Structure 1
């Protein structure tokens, strides 16, 4: 089963500009939005057997009657990842148990589905939002604009041509499709605008950290007027890229079921002192990955999360437009922007310290708790900042 003979497989050269991501051989990839969750599993094997990857793949699919759908190295955690498909009549629980007992296989799990977390409002005439005032961002921006801070936005695609985002984005990476199609999707574009919309173009809105540097890591796909969809495979590849390429903050405005592989990648990011921010979700309990230890959860109803604006916030939309957005995704974007403000002034602060500063900077505003961006900066400023 030679991988290069499968006409349906799309070969991508991901990250050629970065030595950390350079590859010496092609790998099997398939658009993530064509991988059906119920019939696919994700397996990992150690990268120590790199020279035998083809042989190991053939042995596994032959032994268990599977079809190899896609595969890619996750160098950040030193494993090779296989996406395999079982036949429809397969007892998946029994198959997983047999795979887990196999000595060649390191981990096995179901393919999980995720959604970008947003409550949508269709009425364009909601009152103009006051999110920046709610978090005291204007006072904070006297001292910091997030310059030099690198944020990976793992989401649907960002419209790089939007006038409020031009100059704020590095070259995008597509972990959903073939990397050749230029798309502009609603959710990712809105999240980017909240974090870093331009402050100096006299157009549209102002982001929380208008000089932060964003990268669109497209791991979700989105039809017009529909929530974004993602899966374990696309998210794992995006997180792997973020780990290998020196980001300060990873924004995950999405949620879904607990996922062991994604949790391992997130923990690897935290170990590298990358700050991971995730949306709480719309329930009392945090969605995954906001529920992961060490992740900064945003927008939830409990003290375990950081409260930030999440209702009727105006932001950027594809095709030079603007729209109102709501949901804990929006709160996560505000928190990522505030972290960029702090990290410009104090690069390298430990992730635990950053989390502590955020929690300590939640203030009562009109009777409700809300993060105060200027108080965040004040906490580390030793008297050099005034929030008046």
Structure 2
């Protein structure tokens, strides 16, 4: 009789270990755990970042990478559980962010805990097991209340961009075809007649429900990419761009839009993963390390980041280096730290609102998407991605800092373009051009 070896074959050990790891991960992702997750803007939240190991190649062809990944995630979960116990916190959920090589663990102070969340985050940050910890801060949309406008009839002539930016002439040269613009905002009305078919993706990072139609996000989306071929309402600045409607904010009231660090971070990471070429950020709030690192990563991968001008200096994301900030006035009173503020139409702008109508909207929230749309027109003519911080240099401004859309697009057109733009008597006209 052959004696049995006391050792299991290598493949059997691998299967057993992998199965154990998968069971632990499934238990962590069980709906019962997800049901306890707090709202993203809960002021008792502490976001704890643990470093992911750098990706590397394994020489053994039979050593499956999924095994190493599951074991590594299990180890980080154990560290997070130990941290929660040591600092008397409740571990709620986990959000891996490979773009930053971190795992974000969401922890919460117990309801009866009188400690300051800021003090707890500072204490956790000092722990050697942690990359850093921070609060989930609050941000808000930079807009004023909309005013009703004539619904169910063409409003193109009332659009400031139609006259000031000579939109019809621009569209004979570029419509932003195929450029992916991430709108990180509140929900967009996908059924609006001016937006049907314009969204490549619509996802909510505020909750697990389908994104609802909300005012702020719907108006931003219309300014960027409302359809120009349906004889209804308005025409977007870049009507053939593809929109990624990433809901990171919620409509708290008629004119108040609120966002949190946690929901914004999830949406920004999704925009990076989806290869967004332009990011529109029509909200503002305090400086935030996690969000700042995500913006750096997006710009490093060739995305242009456009933000609305806040009400006071130093606010994020407008003050973040490399971000193109947009105001509604000719002479900006608040500038970004990099001096990248420009101005664009943002007053009495007709745009799409939930329910299939249109309204006049005001604020830098709606100036920013004008520039995001214009950048899509520029990018569509040559396909070039943006080097970090160069979006501002691609625009032509007048003496008051206002964007000259016609001159900006004319500057971007390659020498071989069949149609050129010419400025005549304060106008903008496409002219047939034959390259020599």
Structure 1-normalised TM-score? 0.87
3-state DSSP of counterpart to 1:386: strand
Q: State the match for 1:14 in structure 2.
A: none
Change (3 A) 1:362 1:47: same
Q: After the TM superposition, which of the residue ranges 117-126 and 143-152 deviates more from structure 2?
A: 117-126
* Distance (Å, rounded) in 2 between the aligned partners of 1:111 and 1:246: 25
Q: Is 2:88 aligned against 1:53?
A: no
Q: After the TM superposition, which of the residue ranges 48-57 and 235-244 deviates more from structure 2?
A: 48-57
Does the 8 Å CA contact 2:122/2:134 hold for their aligned counterparts? no
Change (3 A) 1:82 1:331: same
* Distance (Å, rounded) in 2 between the aligned partners of 1:357 and 1:123: 35
* Distance (Å, rounded) in 2 between the aligned partners of 1:132 and 1:75: 42
* Distance (Å, rounded) in 1 between the aligned partners of 2:215 and 2:118: 37
* 2:261 corresponds to which of 217, 220, 232: 232
In structure 2, list runs of 5 or more residues that go unmatched: 1-23, 54-71, 424-436
Does the 8 Å CA contact 2:299/2:386 hold for their aligned counterparts? no
Does the 8 Å CA contact 1:43/1:105 hold for their aligned counterparts? yes
In the TM superposition, residue 47 of structure 1 has moved relative to its aligned partner by 1.8
3-state DSSP of counterpart to 1:273: coil
3-state DSSP of counterpart to 1:115: strand
Q: Is 2:419 aligned against 1:344?
A: no
In structure 1, list runs of 5 or more residues that go unmatched: 11-27
Does the 8 Å CA contact 1:9/1:30 hold for their aligned counterparts? no
* Distance (Å, rounded) in 2 between the aligned partners of 1:326 and 1:240: 29
Q: After the TM superposition, which of the residue ranges 214-223 and 87-96 deviates more from structure 2?
A: 87-96
* Distance (Å, rounded) in 1 between the aligned partners of 2:314 and 2:90: 35
Q: State the match for 1:247 in structure 2.
A: 276
Structure 2-normalised TM-score? 0.78
Q: State the match for 2:432 in structure 1.
A: none
* Distance (Å, rounded) in 2 between the aligned partners of 1:124 and 1:252: 25
Change (3 A) 1:314 1:93: closer
In the TM superposition, residue 373 of structure 1 has moved relative to its aligned partner by 1.6
Q: State the match for 1:317 in structure 2.
A: 353
Alignment of 1:34-73 (within 5 A): 35-37=41-43, 39-48=44-53, 49-73=72-96
Q: Is 2:277 aligned against 1:271?
A: no
3-state DSSP of counterpart to 2:259: strand
Q: State the match for 2:19 in structure 1.
A: none
Q: Which runs of 4+ in 1 moved over 6 A?
A: none
CA offsets, 1:16-44, max 9 Å, x none?
A: xxxxxxxxxxxx85543xx412x111110
* 1:9 corresponds to which of 26, 30, 34: 34
* 2:183 corresponds to which of 131, 153, 166: 153
* Distance (Å, rounded) in 1 between the aligned partners of 2:228 and 2:149: 23
Q: Is 2:408 aligned against 1:379?
A: no
Q: After the TM superposition, which of the residue ranges 77-86 and 50-59 deviates more from structure 2?
A: 50-59
Higher relative contact order (CA 8 A, sep 6+): 1
Does the 8 Å CA contact 1:280/1:286 hold for their aligned counterparts? no
Q: Which of the pair has more CA radius of gyration? A: 2
* 2:285 corresponds to which of 256, 277, 280: 256
* Distance (Å, rounded) in 1 between the aligned partners of 2:204 and 2:187: 8
Q: State the match for 1:86 in structure 2.
A: 109
Q: Is 2:131 aligned against 1:106?
A: yes
In the TM superposition, residue 53 of structure 1 has moved relative to its aligned partner by 2.4
In the TM superposition, residue 121 of structure 1 has moved relative to its aligned partner by 3.9
* 2:362 corresponds to which of 323, 326, 330: 326
Q: State the match for 2:402 in structure 1.
A: 370
3-state DSSP of counterpart to 1:83: strand
* RMSD, matched Cα: 2.3
